[in-house]
Amino acid sequence: MTDLLRPHAVATPVERLDGPAKVTGTAPYAFDHAVPNPAYLHPLQAAVARGRVTDIDTRPAEELDGVLAVLTHRNAPRLASDEDAELAILQSDEVAFRGQFLGAVIAETPEIARQAASLVRITVDEQEHQVQLRADHRQLYVPEEVNPTFPTDTSQGDVDLAARDAAITVDERYTTAWYHNNPMEPHSTVALWQDATLTLYDSTQGAHPVRTAIAPVLGLDPEQVRVIAPHVGGGFGSKGTAHAHLILAALAARELPGHWVKFALTRQQMFSLAGYRTPTIQRVRLAADHEGRLSGIGVDAVEQTSRFKEFAEQTGIPARTMYAARNRRSTHRLAPLDVPVPSWMRAPGECPGMFGPEVAMDELATACGLDPIELRIRNEPHVDPESGKPFSSRNLIACLRDGAHRFGWDGRDPTPRGRRDGRWLVGTGVASSTYPVHYIPGSAATVRYLGEGRYRVEVSATDLGTGARTVLAQIAADALGVGVERIELGIGDTALPVATVAGGSSGTISWGSTIVEAARIFRHEYGDNPSEGDEAAGTTPENPAAERFAMRAFGAQFAEVRVHEDTGEVRVPRLLGVFAAGRIINPRTARSQLIGGMTMGLSMALHEESVLDPRFGHIVNHDFAEYHVAANADVGALDAHWIDEDDPHVNPLGAKGIGEIGIVGTAAAIVNAAYHATGVRVRELPVTLDKFLH
């Protein structure tokens, strides 16, 4: 793939095309769609973690004025497929996790629906449950593969032996907390069942993927389902797969044919029904000589899944390719619990999986008396240690050096607890970032000439607020050799050509390359002077180079941390990221993605933790007052840069994904800086003030 798109609109900071509509509140999100005479759904949920429903008394709800229907497992229609256990709701009396849907009330107003739901009496025969992840859980098992299709365990050489013979070893346990994605817009859907078709205005990361997931469950052909998602208020992975609320809304719509049914999860419901990131317990081992050259890297991850459906976070993956070491090992073990099923959350695998190892690298640097940047440079591999293939491009060292320069790293005194500003102890830290290039086949795009120099380009991509709409228009403009203002873009609708999910930082490169291909075919067929109505279609082009190269983006993150000597309060006045992610399509939206990811990383480092109460089996801090994400005041000087990286191999755009790499490594950089400030090594996230108090 050497025919790189020649950039004109690409690589310029085009403002978001939908910006004005969004800030004036006229961009319709799923629930906003004005539909005639809607009904509102409020779900019934299990209040125990495991058991059997023995009785549901729905009469008090049904008797309430304005209630249109009450659904439970007793009257809900049978679903056509229960293959995806998460979606097979209301099919039995079984309760598999606390918060599970046990039914729904549909009423004329949301208030009536909510009140009616509170009147339904559900009796459950409660059974003993297990909800707590422990490294020594008795039922730990080996999943067949980890998300999406990686081998569960890998081993090259012998890490035990390497550790035994090494001059210096680090062997520590690191933990990341249970996190909820918490996009701003809750999961919501507006459903209409009419004439054997289902129409959904949905808040999703992929209109086609949603359709593919739910049609068979409902016994429909995909063509009988239309999903429309023009604007999406964030997803961070939680809207990448179909969750049970879609089926509940669809069943309700089927119960009331011809009637629109609106359903938005409350923030609290999102804590049990919209996916989350599993907590991880990571044993990380590093073996090195006195000069810090690694001979062994081992990561053994223990994490959780639900008992009724498996999801295995690929936490051990990044350590497989990050640094050169002859002996390497990574394993994943799962504890099956009576909890909701975990799912994707921004940078699954890489995000938790670069926490333990990148803190361990800092510990190794300290043990070797080496600068942590120098340590990483010494262990830079020449080829991908995992596959033995060359990297299509790998500029980790350039990022570290550029970042060090911008951050003012040089001359840093490594002594912990050596700098203070009044009562604040001050430190700095660094960590690496990485994220794979996911170029996903299977999208299609059409280009049609509208006359007067204008083109309509269609691909059912989704814009989660990332700027996808804008960058795809830029790509289409350059692919057709016209200005951005000449492009009319259609996205977010299954009536348009199929597109893959906005996930894995794959959207821009996969959909964008598809548009480039469609434009190429268009120009090939119609030349530079097409007639109105001329149309061509293209599909995602194959990339033969994918076989020859390992493809990843890299980055370096730097943090300044202050810890208050009296109170232990932790502040991050400065955070800097430098990334190497191929060609940057739009510096403005790219910067937002990167600093957004870093902010989420900061949030993970300092605040985020879904607190489980093992007695009840649910997350007790299930709202925004108690589940803390970083507030404005927590974010200091935050900056993201990138280095010019030419990668002719990745795809016709020369671009790598940037949606997720920003969250990778941030927490480690902050923990490392906190150590530098205080001399206290925190290995358990989040880094809260109590960890510094005595």
**CB closer to other proteins, 92 vs 118:** 118
Determine, following the binding rule CB under 8 A, whether residue 534 of this chain makes contact with other proteins.
no
Report the candidate in 276, 239, 629 with the shortest Cα–Cα distance to residue 463.
Answer: 239
- Residue 685 · residue 604 · CB < 8 Å: yes
337-356: contacts with other proteins (CB under 8 A): none
At 169, is the secondary structure helix, strand, or coil? strand
- What is the number of other CB atoms lying within 10 angstroms of the CB of residue 422? 9
Q: Can you say how many angstroms the Cα of residue 580 is from the centroid of all Cα atoms in its chain? A: 20
CB of 123 to other proteins, least distance (A): 14
**CB closer to other proteins, 142 vs 611:** 611
Determine, following the binding rule CB under 8 A, whether residue 688 of this chain makes contact with other proteins.
yes
Residues touching other proteins, count (CB under 8 A): 34
Report the candidate in 216, 188, 205 with the shortest Cα–Cα distance to residue 241.
Answer: 205
Name the pairing type of β-strands 39-45 and 261-264.
parallel
Determine, following the binding rule CB under 8 A, whether residue 223 of this chain makes contact with other proteins.
no
Determine, following the binding rule CB under 8 A, whether residue 693 of this chain makes contact with other proteins.
yes
CB of 626 to other proteins, least distance (A): 6
CB of 45 to other proteins, least distance (A): 9
At 396, is the secondary structure helix, strand, or coil? helix
CB of 559 to other proteins, least distance (A): 15
Query: Which residues touch 458 (CB under 8 Å, ≥6 apart)?
Result: 445, 446, 448, 489, 490, 491, 496, 497
Stretch that binds other proteins, among 292-300, 303-311, 325-333, 621-629 (CB under 8 A): 621-629
CB of 204 to other proteins, least distance (A): 26
CB of 47 to other proteins, least distance (A): 4
- Residue 333 · residue 324 · CB < 8 Å: no
What are 682's strand-pairing partners? Answer: none
Report the candidate in 668, 535, 521, 650 with the shortest Cα–Cα distance to residue 601.
Answer: 668
Per CB under 8 A, the list member of 208, 239, 607, 656 interacting with other proteins is: 607
At 594, is the secondary structure helix, strand, or coil? helix
**CB closer to other proteins, 546 vs 635:** 635
CB of 557 to other proteins, least distance (A): 20
Q: Can you say how many angstroms the Cα of residue 439 is from the centroid of all Cα atoms in its chain? A: 16
Determine, following the binding rule CB under 8 A, whether residue 694 of this chain makes contact with other proteins.
yes
- What is the number of other CB atoms lying within 10 angstroms of the CB of residue 243? 25
Stretch that binds other proteins, among 322-330, 430-438, 479-487, 623-631 (CB under 8 A): 623-631
Determine, following the binding rule CB under 8 A, whether residue 637 of this chain makes contact with other proteins.
no
**CB closer to other proteins, 539 vs 688:** 688
**CB closer to other proteins, 184 vs 196:** 184
Please give the structure tokens belonging to residue 686.
């989040």
Stretch that binds other proteins, among 21-29, 159-167, 294-302, 611-619 (CB under 8 A): 611-619
Q: Residue ranges of the alpha helices (H) in 191-308?
A: 207-214, 244-255, 267-273
Q: Can you say how many angstroms the Cα of residue 578 is from the centroid of all Cα atoms in its chain? A: 20
Report the candidate in 680, 685, 570, 636 with the shortest Cα–Cα distance to residue 175.
Answer: 685
Stretch that binds other proteins, among 2-10, 216-224, 644-652, 683-691 (CB under 8 A): 683-691
CB of 161 to other proteins, least distance (A): 41
Report the candidate in 474, 480, 424 with the shortest Cα–Cα distance to residue 455.
Answer: 480
Per CB under 8 A, the list member of 626, 637, 644, 646 interacting with other proteins is: 626
What letter does residue 391 receive in the DSSP assignment? B
In this structure, the chain runs to a length of: 694
- Residue 435 · residue 314 · CB < 8 Å: no
**CB closer to other proteins, 125 vs 223:** 125
3-state SS, 345-359, equals CCCCCHHHHCCHHHH
Determine, following the binding rule CB under 8 A, whether residue 123 of this chain makes contact with other proteins.
no
- What is the number of other CB atoms lying within 10 angstroms of the CB of residue 430? 30
Determine, following the binding rule CB under 8 A, whether residue 613 of this chain makes contact with other proteins.
yes
CB of 32 to other proteins, least distance (A): 21
| Rounded distance between C-alpha atoms, residue 439 and residue 134, angstroms | 36
Query: Which residues touch 62 (CB under 8 Å, ≥6 apart)?
Result: 70, 116
Please give the structure tokens belonging to residue 395.
């500029």
Per CB under 8 A, the list member of 114, 267, 419, 681 interacting with other proteins is: 114
**CB closer to other proteins, 511 vs 692:** 692
CB of 330 to other proteins, least distance (A): 33
At 641, is the secondary structure helix, strand, or coil? strand
**CB closer to other proteins, 61 vs 581:** 61
**CB closer to other proteins, 111 vs 125:** 111
The dihedral through the CA atoms of 242, 248, 254, 257 has a sign that is: negative
Please give the structure tokens belonging to residue 62.
């049904």
Name the pairing type of β-strands 197-202 and 101-107.
unpaired
Determine, following the binding rule CB under 8 A, whether residue 108 of this chain makes contact with other proteins.
no
Determine, following the binding rule CB under 8 A, whether residue 374 of this chain makes contact with other proteins.
no
Name the pairing type of β-strands 420-421 and 424-436.
antiparallel
Determine, following the binding rule CB under 8 A, whether residue 628 of this chain makes contact with other proteins.
yes
- Catalytic residue list: 660
**CB closer to other proteins, 2 vs 632:** 632
Please give the structure tokens belonging to residue 217.
């469950």
Per CB under 8 A, the list member of 91, 115, 132, 154 interacting with other proteins is: 115
CB of 140 to other proteins, least distance (A): 26
Per CB under 8 A, the list member of 74, 134, 164, 423 interacting with other proteins is: 423
Per CB under 8 A, the list member of 160, 534, 621, 679 interacting with other proteins is: 621
Per CB under 8 A, the list member of 85, 616, 639, 681 interacting with other proteins is: 616
Stretch that binds other proteins, among 89-97, 191-199, 546-554, 615-623 (CB under 8 A): 615-623
CB of 565 to other proteins, least distance (A): 8
At 609, is the secondary structure helix, strand, or coil? coil
What letter does residue 148 receive in the DSSP assignment? T
Q: Which residue, chain included where needed, has tokens 């060359």?
A: 390
**CB closer to other proteins, 421 vs 690:** 690
Stretch that binds other proteins, among 29-37, 430-438, 575-583, 632-640 (CB under 8 A): 632-640
547-606: contacts with other proteins (CB under 8 A): 566-569, 571, 606
Binding residues vs other proteins (CB under 8 A)? 47, 111, 114-115, 118, 423, 566-569, 571, 606-607, 611, 613, 615-616, 618, 620-622, 625-626, 628, 630-634, 688-690, 693-694
